[in-house]
Structure 1
Amino acid sequence: MRRALASCLTVAMLFAAPVHAEAENPLRAGGSWDDLAYDILGDVTPEPAGDALALDAPFRAYDPALVPVHLTQPPDAPVIGELVLVVDENPAPVAATIRLSPAMHPLDFEMRVRVEQYSNIRAIAESEGGTLMTGRFVRATGGCAAPAGRDAAEALAQMGRMRLLSLQKADGYRQVRLMIRHPNYSGLQRDQRTLLNIPAHFVDQLEVWQGEEMLFAVEGGISVSEDPVYDFRFRDNGAPALRVVATDTRGNRFEQDLPLEGRG
C-alpha cells in the first residue's frame, strides 16, 4: 500500500513540475520583435519592468480568440500615463494603446485579445520611472481568423450595447467589469455561408469617464476580442455613473451612462 502510494505521488510530482514551470511563461528572445521594436519605440530602449508592472497571460490559451491579459502594479510602483499592448506575431501587432489617468494607479486592468500564432505578448509603459517593458509568451493559434461566436445579424442587432458590473469596493477604490457588444471583425475571418472574408469592423476608440475625469482611453486594433470586456480598478471620486464613449471603424458612435450600483 505504501509502495503504491509513493509511486502515485512520484508520478504526480513528475506531471506537476512542468505545469508550474510553464505557468511562469516569460518573454522569449527572437521572433518578430527585433523588426517591430524600432517602429514602436524608435531609439528608446525600455527597461525591464521588474516589480513595477506585471503582465499575466496563460501559457496555453483555452481560446485563442479570447486570451485574457491582466496588468497589475503594487501600490508603490510609478504612475503609468500610457501603455502599448503588443502581440508580436499577430498580423497587426499593436493590439491597443491605452492612456491612463492617475485614478487608475496602481494599475489593475484586464482585457481579452486574439492571438494568431505562438507569440510574446508584451506591455510597454511610459511611466514616471521611464519606459518599462514586461510580458509573457503564449501558445495559441488561429485567434485572428477564428469564426465569430455569434450570427452576423444578431451581432449587428446588438452592436453597441453596454453593461457594467460592480465587482468590489474597498479603501476608496472600485473594481468593475465593462462589457461591450461588438463583433470586432478582424478582416481575417470568413463568412461561413459565402466563404468570403468578412471586412474588418472593430471598435477603434474607447473612452471611460468618471464625471469630468477620463479614467482611460483605448485605441484598439484587430487584435481586440469580439464583444470586448474590460476589468479595471479605479479611485472612486463619488460620481454616480461611468460614461462610456466608443466609436468603430465604420463611423458608428456608442455612448452610455452606466450607473455604479451599491455605492454604500
Structure 2
Amino acid sequence: MSATAVRTPAPVSDPPGARSKRLKGAGLGVLAWVVGLLFFLPIAWMALTSFHSEADAATNPPSFTAALTLDGYREFFGAGGGASPWPALINSTVASLTSTLLVLVLALPAAYALSIRPVKKWTDVLFFFLSTKMLPAVAGLLPLYLFAKNTGLLDNIWLLVVLYTSMNLPIAVWMMQSFLAEVPVAVIEAAQLDGAKLPTVLARIVAPIAAPGIAATALICFIFSWNELLFARVLTGVVAETAPVFLTSFITSQGLFLAKVCAASLVISLPVLAAGFAAQDKLVQGLSLGAVK
C-alpha cells in the first residue's frame, strides 16, 4: 500500500496593490486623527482654563496641575455683582431661532421653484442669490445704522431678526436647491394627481424627503445667526444685547480676565455644540445628499 503525499495549500498572496492600499488607508486614518486633535485641542485648552483661577490662568508657561475652581463661571453668571448674562442669552436665542424659522419658510418655496419646478435661467438666479453674500458686511453698516436710527429701531431685537433672515436667506436657498433636486418628481406628481395643493406638497411630501438637507441648512443658519457680532455690536445697546456682544464686555481697560472669558466662551458655545450634536445624523446626511449619483 503506497503512501500518499499530503499537499499543503499554498499561501494566498495579497492581490497586487492591496498592501499599498492598506498602508494608504492607515495613513489617512492617522492623518484624520491628527487633524481632529488639532481642532479639538484649543477647545479642550479653553475648557481647562475656564476651571482655573485668574492667577493660574495668567501664568506663562501654563500650569497643568493648578487647582480647579468654578469662580470663572460664578463671575460669568453674576455672582460677583456683575451683569447677568441671561438677557443676552435670551436675545441670541430669540434672534437665532426666529430668523432660522423665517429663513426655512421663505427658502423652501424658492428652492422648490429652482429645483423641482425650475424657472428659466435658474442658474443666474442662484448666482444672484449667492452674489449678495459677496458684499462686505461693513459696507452696509452705515446705511443700516442710519435706517435704524431714523425709524427708532436701534437696540431692537426684531431688527436683528430681519437682518439675520436676509443675511442667511441666500445661502439657504443655494443649499436647499441642491437638496430638493434629489426629491423624486414622480412622487410629487402622484400627490398632485390626488388633489394635493402646493402647501400640502411642500409640507407632507417635499419636507419629509428633504429633511436631512433642511436640518443641515437650519443648523448652519442658526450658527451664523448665533455667532454674528458686527451688526449686533453696532445696532444694539442694553435691551437687545446678544451673547457675543456680552462676551466682548469682559475685555476691558483693566485687563483681560482669561479664566472668566474662557468660561463665558464655553457657556455661549454650548447651544451651538448641543444643536450640532442633536442634529449630527441629519447633518451628515444632508451635507452628503447628492454627492453620489
Tell me which interval the TM-score lies in, with the shorter structure as reference length. under 0.3
Query: Which structure has more helix as a fraction of its residues?
Result: 2
Query: Normalised by the size of structure 1, how large is the TM-score?
Result: 0.21
Larger radius of gyration: 2
Report the TM-score when normalising by structure 2. Answer: 0.20
Whichever structure has more strand as a proportion of its residues is 1
